[in-house]
Amino acid sequence: MNILFANYGDCTSNSLNHIGAFANQLTKLGHACIVAIPDHPESVEVLESPLFGVRLFETCLEQPAIFPDRRAADLIHVWTPRENVRKFAMAYLALDPNARLVVHLEDNENHLTSTFTNLSLKELVALSDSALAERIPDNLSHPLRAKHFLSLAHGVTHITERLREFIPPRANAHLLLPGLNTSQVASDDEAQAERASLDLQSDEKLIVYTGSTTFANLADVKCLTLAVKLLNEGGQSTRLVRTGHQPTEYQAILAEVGGDFVTDLGFISKNRLPRLLAAADVLVQPGAADSFNAYRLPSKLPEFLCAGRPTLMPAANIGALIRVGQEGLLLESPTPQEIVRKCQEVFSDAELARRLARGARTFAQMNFAIGINTDGLVKFYDDLQGHPSVFGEHPPTNHEVPVLVDNLDSELGQRVRGLTDHIAKLEEQLLAAQTEASRQSAAARYQTAKVQSQRHITENVRSELSALTGELTPLVAGLQQEVTDLRNLNEHNERQHTERVAALEGKLRHTINSGSWVFTAPFRAIRRKFFDPLTRKENQSPTDPESQAAEMEISIDPGLPHSLDEPADWAAVPTKGLIRGWVVSADNQEIVQMRILAGDQLIEVDLGISRPDVATLHPDNPFAASAGFAADYELSPGWEGETVFEALTADGQWRRFAARHTRVATGTLESLRHNYREWVQKYDTLSLANTINHRARIEAMMEIDRPLISIILPVFNSPEPWLIKAIESVRDQYYPNWELCIADDASTAPHVARILTDYRKRDDRIKVVTRSDNGHISAASNSALEIATGDFCGLLDHDDELAPHALAEVIYALEADANLAFIYSDEDKIDEAGYRSDPYFKPDWNPDLLLGQNYTCHFSVFRTSLLKEIKGFRIGLEGSQDWDLTLRATAKIEANQIHHIAKVLYHWRAIPGSTALVIDQKEDYPFVAAKKALEDHLAEQKVSGELIPVEGRHWRIKYPLPSDAPKVSIIIPTHNGFELLRTCLDSIRSLTGYPNYEIIVVDHQSDDPTCLKYFGELEAEGVRVIKFKGEFNFSAINNYAVRYASGSVLAFLNNDLEAIQSDWLDEMVAQAMRPPIGAVGAQLYFPNDTVQHAGVILGIGGLNGSPSVAGHAFKDAPRGSDGQRNRLRLVQNYSAVTAACLVIRREIFEEVGGFDEAKLAVAFNDIDFCLRVRAAGYRNLWTPFAELYHHESASRGIEDSPDKLERFAAEVATMRGRWAGVLDHDPAYNPNLTAEFEDFSLAVPPRP
């Protein structure tokens, strides 16, 4: 692309800093760039080795085809709409009418013009054209012509968001922040050499101010000069170094300040600028947060921040975005005294100065990287292709025509002005009319949708009434006959009972009155006293423990592969439920019968249930396709024992293939925590009141808040009942403003076309496209996407169902935040009888979990423009096409545009042959597709990593270490605990394969002689041992140790850890070195191989009866468990990880200020630290691929004494006060999961 930049000034103007940076970078990307300037061609000498050409305006107009390929410009990007630039651009466009026009805004141009002329904008507009021409020089903007110029432009770039006020409403706009080479930073040695070249005194402070002095910034420069004078008069020797052009008339004004503390260097080379800025003690951008500074971003500010020096600035433009005290300090008033006060803060606090320097550098890297900002600019350029010429279809034939209006007499000028005002009013009226028309159109669509919805409801009601009417008469007659029969039967039974009682009473009287009964009375008394007790003892069962244990031994036959799908948790099964699974014989025998024994209770089993997923797993077994079984059971509350599974094979042998230790829930609440069906019935079944409330809320919405949602439904030979269920679930939505876009992928089953045709006729909101060839799910989904006209698209599979309130919940989310671009919900499975099971209650946005599994899955709703931007579904990714789509879509948007609805809005059809049942047993093609999707995603993000399969058909990305592995400082506090510490250090030193680390042991007042001797041995072996005195304060101990650490990476370890694999540190450091990652935690086990730590969840549990602060995910789960939906095997983001084993880059640790030793001495300091890391913009991460044993604080006491309990309560109060809102909603945890336990069971009741 040929790109012509046009600047209002010559090469010495500040704007050339921005233009030159972008022109150089664009040239590196293969574009041809030329910068046009109005005069002073010799000023090009200030540019250092530019990759672009510089030409005068007049040269460009004499020969427009000035680019190397002998063509004219494809695009003109003019810097500001000032008169000299506007005239040049319009003249050039007359010669090259097909070029795109982009105007850049960097100042409040009206303010500049008003300041220069001493007239308000209203006064200027009232002047005649000739009067305006006399007052406004060519290097300022004409208030009327500039506005018209912006309306002609194909696009407008702006340096601050505030400048949008001057951009026409329908114009294409792009925020263009300055671009810098953020890697070009001077070293400390270079900075010291620069200070030496300035002949500074040893105690003299240095303030650097770069850039030329103009009428616009003269007041600011004078304010800064006065501030430096006050600093010197107050006893702080300070030098102000200025660069750039200082006009003679302004030099005289600044000289009035007096003093010999200013050094003017004039123009300096670009190469010297980083060294000069790095030499400064503080960098100051003076000014007020007024109507001028609010709109602009001085070019020097990005350079100041990039230099990594403490920076002072007004609370305007970029100043409104920085974190005060972390990335810079704000000037609260535009006075010299305020600059003095803030400078003294920095001069007197070395830690503050270091923190501000680090923060400034980080801020610059995030906002001003030349590569990223240029990529955004190129995309903006590309989006402007294809627009018509600024002159429409008939460009002028003479290049002077566009500027003739500048020479018109005042009378005609007044007429033009009048027409301009009239056109502006007409445009406002047209915009209002279009808005009203759009509103009425939306209202009409909504009313039509309501009618369709009501028609659907009426059809269902009529159908049900008709069916009931036909069934009612015979039903009533049958009931009446049953009542008569029951009444007759009851009378007969009463007569028989009366007769039987009378006969028995007669027999009893006869026996008692007989002589034999009277004669044998003494013998009956002797039997009761002497013989009955002996009989009871003989009948008692043996109590020998060994015999009991022998009875409990259960032998399992390994030749029967199987799976027990339900119940999911045998430790707390409900009293009633369903047992479901499958079993086959490894020797291919038929399973002819099966039985389940729960203690002494025999449970009947149904065999022969279709399981195509098992047929895929065991393709050579002829009975695998029908290997499923199911059994309804009912057990006593509180029963505990073994549930045994036995199968009878065709050879006549009963073979025991599985056993589960079973405990039946004792109460309603415990049962609800583990029985999803009961939980659904109580908490997730919509009542009539719910329906009424949803419909009333939707009806009360404004039309603008009711966007059209397109449901994308690809179809191929869908089973008839499930296809109807899927369509009806959309028609049953409470929210009526939807369209169902169905793509029939050349189905061969005749019922598909019949059903789709019928529904298309019954409901105008249903659209169908029939493909001529079968292209599989990606192609079919794209066909459905092509006919979608909604603002958002939701994805639905052809045999699944949406909950009736699914779209309503999506609309509520959009009502709360209209900026959302991707919304996903929780999901579960539904069988042929309508029973729901296996819910996935998901975390909020968790980007690292998405790299291991497609956890967002269903129900997913995307902004339609986003789907079309990424060109929909990719062919060849079938089986994992949704995962690939989500990866590509989320890479294009910000985290705050992603929203999770913590409600089950989608039901997978869990029947034989359905994806819901076979998702983990599919053929390889989805697995292969997932690998390609992830590989392509990593390549697109320019991230290196090895993809490794994880059990459960998920993935791990193994990130490489840097070629020069950073040094890691392993910090281990201890108090005595010799055996624990020795085990810890021996395991680390013998197993750890990481090549570059040091160990620092922090001795907190140990007095055990064995331990003290061991410290000496460690020091002799190269381990550093430092002493810490005072009360136990975990935060202070670790902060103290960091001062002695020499590594750029910090690893905090408890002394009771034990390494059990060689690459634990490699994995943690590789994760920690990723730029977006903050704290990294490990997989820790108790010595009995159960989980001690797999990430920290906020707001669950609670210690010593305290309010809840946090607990550990999946605590006490057996090692090797999969956890909820395989999460125990996958890398993911958590809000916090335990500092028992925590790795983090040192720069982040220092940026957030380390651990809080003032208020969190013992408990929760790691959680608070992680939350501050997260608040600083980093993602905390837990990895299961760094495994260690943890003996859990074995060298520390428990919280039992009154003073410890008091301290603990204070720490809980600190956390609740500091992080209350965060603790009550952990984004890594779902409100439908329990807050009482750490096992991811169901919440009773769910939290809001």
Band of residue 710 on the pLDDT scale cut at 50, 70, 90:
very high
- Are 34 and 53 spatial neighbours (Cβ–Cβ below 8 Å)? yes
* pLDDT 10s digits, 188-223: 889 999 999 998 888 899 999 988 887 767 888 899
Whether 1079 shows a pLDDT value over 50: the answer reads yes
* pLDDT 10s digits, 32-82: 999 999 999 998 888 888 999 999 999 999 999 999 999 999 999 999 999
Q: How far is CA 1110 from CA 6, 152, 415, 1107, 1117, in A?
A: 59, 58, 73, 10, 18
Most distant CA pair in the chain, distance: 149
Task: Give the residue with greater pLDDT, 987 vs 442.
Answer: 987
pLDDT of residue 1248: 81
**Which residues, including other chains, have CB under 8 Å from residue 550's CB and lie 6 or more apart?**
none
C-alpha atoms less than 13 angstroms from C-alpha of 1224 in its C-beta half-sphere: 8
The stretch 630-649 carries a mean pLDDT of: 91
Task: Give the residue with greater pLDDT, 411 vs 629.
Answer: 629
Place of tokens 């350029």: 381
Q: Which long-range contacts (CB under 8 A, 24 or more apart) does 640-645 make?
A: 640/664, 641/598, 641/599, 642/552, 642/554, 642/599, 643/570, 643/596, 643/597, 643/598, 644/554, 644/596, 644/597, 645/562, 645/564, 645/583, 645/594, 645/596
Retrieve residue 873's tokens. Answer: 């579904």
Band of residue 636 on the pLDDT scale cut at 50, 70, 90:
confident
pTM: 0.57
Q: What CA–CA distance (Å, rounded) separates 1147 from 1132?
A: 22
pLDDT of residue 688: 82
pLDDT of residue 89: 95
- Least confident range of 237-251, 903-917, 1077-1091: 903-917
Band of residue 544 on the pLDDT scale cut at 50, 70, 90:
very low
Q: How far is CA 463 from CA 452, 456, 522, in A?
A: 17, 11, 79
Whether 682 shows a pLDDT value over 80: the answer reads yes
- Are 837 and 675 spatial neighbours (Cβ–Cβ below 8 Å)? no
Retrieve residue 1141's tokens. Answer: 């084993």
Whether 504 shows a pLDDT value over 80: the answer reads no
The stretch 949-963 carries a mean pLDDT of: 92
Q: How far from the centroid of its chain's Cα atoms is residue 1115's Cα? A: 25
The stretch 880-896 carries a mean pLDDT of: 95
* pLDDT 10s digits, 1108-1136: 788 899 998 999 888 888 999 999 999 99
Task: Give the residue with greater pLDDT, 935 vs 682.
Answer: 935
- Are 846 and 914 spatial neighbours (Cβ–Cβ below 8 Å)? no
- CB count, 10 Å around CB of 659? 15
Band of residue 517 on the pLDDT scale cut at 50, 70, 90:
very low
The stretch 400-428 carries a mean pLDDT of: 53
pLDDT of residue 213: 81
Band of residue 20 on the pLDDT scale cut at 50, 70, 90:
very high
Strand partners, 767: 741
- Least confident range of 109-118, 242-251, 967-976, 1074-1083: 242-251
pLDDT of residue 945: 94
What 3 state SS string does 1213-1246 have? HHHHHHHHHHHCCCCCCCCCECCCCCCCCECCCC
Whether 822 shows a pLDDT value over 90: the answer reads yes
**Which residues, including other chains, have CB under 8 Å from residue 956's CB and lie 6 or more apart?**
852, 947, 948, 949, 950, 1130, 1131, 1185
Q: What CA–CA distance (Å, rounded) separates 377 from 75?
A: 12
Task: Give the residue with greater pLDDT, 120 vs 1105.
Answer: 120
**Which residues, including other chains, have CB under 8 Å from residue 870's CB and lie 6 or more apart?**
885, 888, 889, 892
First CA to last CA across the chain, in angstroms? 54
The stretch 1177-1203 carries a mean pLDDT of: 75
pLDDT of residue 691: 87
**Which residues, including other chains, have CB under 8 Å from residue 29's CB and lie 6 or more apart?**
374, 378
Retrieve residue 964's tokens. Answer: 């020069």
Band of residue 1012 on the pLDDT scale cut at 50, 70, 90:
very high
Whether 416 shows a pLDDT value over 60: the answer reads no
* pLDDT 10s digits, 576-605: 888 989 999 999 999 999 999 998 899 999
- Are 761 and 729 spatial neighbours (Cβ–Cβ below 8 Å)? no
Give the closest residue to 1081 by CA, choosing from 1097, 1070, 1095, 1067.
1095
Whether 402 shows a pLDDT value over 60: the answer reads no
pLDDT of residue 418: 61
pLDDT of residue 420: 61
pLDDT of residue 399: 42
Phi, psi dihedrals of residue 830, rounded to the nearest 5° = -135, 135
What 3 state SS string does 608-654 have? EECCHHHHHHCCCCCCHHHCEEEEEEECCCCCEEEEEEEEEECCCCE
pLDDT of residue 941: 92
Place of tokens 């098992």: 614
CA Rg, the chain, in Å? 39
* pLDDT 10s digits, 765-817: 999 999 999 999 999 999 999 999 999 999 999 999 999 999 999 999 999 99
Task: Give the residue with greater pLDDT, 901 vs 977.
Answer: 901
pLDDT of residue 1206: 74
Containing 75, the helix (H) or strand (E) segment is strand 75-79
Give the dihedral of Cα atoms 447, 450, 455, 460; nearest 10 deg: 180
What 3 state SS string does 1134-1182 have? CCECCCCEEEEEHHHHHHCCCCCCCCCCCCCHHHHHHHHHHHCCCEEEE
Q: What CA–CA distance (Å, rounded) separates 218 from 212?
A: 10
Give the closest residue to 8 by CA, choosing from 88, 96, 91, 110.
88
Whether 304 shows a pLDDT value over 70: the answer reads yes
List the strands of the sheet with 654-663, edge to edge.
601-603, 591-598, 640-649, 654-663
* pLDDT 10s digits, 606-624: 999 888 778 877 889 999 9
Retrieve residue 858's tokens. Answer: 């269903």
Compute the mean pLDDT over every residue in the chain, rounded to the nearest whole number: 85
Band of residue 475 on the pLDDT scale cut at 50, 70, 90:
low
pLDDT of residue 559: 92
pLDDT of residue 937: 95
Q: What CA–CA distance (Å, rounded) separates 1117 from 1090?
A: 5
User: Percentage of the chain with pLDDT > 90?
Assistant: 53
Place of tokens 């992928």: 745
- Least confident range of 257-261, 847-851, 984-988, 1149-1153: 257-261
Q: What CA–CA distance (Å, rounded) separates 274 from 827?
A: 54
pLDDT of residue 467: 60
* pLDDT 10s digits, 520-533: 555 555 544 555 44
The stretch 897-920 carries a mean pLDDT of: 74
Band of residue 172 on the pLDDT scale cut at 50, 70, 90:
very high
pLDDT of residue 23: 96
> What type of residue is 367?
N
Strand partners, 292: none
Angle 1202-1206-1211 (CA atoms, 0-180°, nearest 5)?
145
Q: What CA–CA distance (Å, rounded) separates 1239 from 1248?
A: 20
- Sign for the pseudo-dihedral over CA of 611, 612, 613, 619: positive
Whether 407 shows a pLDDT value over 50: the answer reads no
pLDDT of residue 771: 94
- Are 195 and 228 spatial neighbours (Cβ–Cβ below 8 Å)? no
Helix 218-233, helix 336-348: angle, nearest 10: 50
- CB count, 10 Å around CB of 88? 26
pLDDT of residue 170: 79
The stretch 635-664 carries a mean pLDDT of: 90
pLDDT of residue 1223: 87
Q: How many residues does the chain have?
A: 1248
Band of residue 1198 on the pLDDT scale cut at 50, 70, 90:
very low
Place of tokens 């020998």: 544
Retrieve residue 1087's tokens. Answer: 């010595």
The stretch 878-891 carries a mean pLDDT of: 94
Q: How far from the centroid of its chain's Cα atoms is residue 234's Cα? A: 51
Whether 545 shows a pLDDT value over 80: the answer reads no
Whether 1171 shows a pLDDT value over 90: the answer reads yes
DSSP letters for 395-463: --SSTTGGGGGGGS-HHHHHHHHHHHHHHHHHHHHHHHHHHHHHHHHHHHHHHHHHHHHHHHHHHHHHH
User: Percentage of the chain with pLDDT > 70?
Assistant: 85
Task: Give the residue with greater pLDDT, 101 vs 390.
Answer: 101
Helix segments in 992-1097, DSSP class H: 1009-1020, 1034-1044, 1064-1072
Retrieve residue 723's tokens. Answer: 């296809």
Task: Give the residue with greater pLDDT, 1195 vs 1074.
Answer: 1074
- Are 286 and 226 spatial neighbours (Cβ–Cβ below 8 Å)? no
Phi, psi dihedrals of residue 248, rounded to the nearest 5° = -55, -45
Task: Give the residue with greater pLDDT, 1063 vs 687.
Answer: 1063
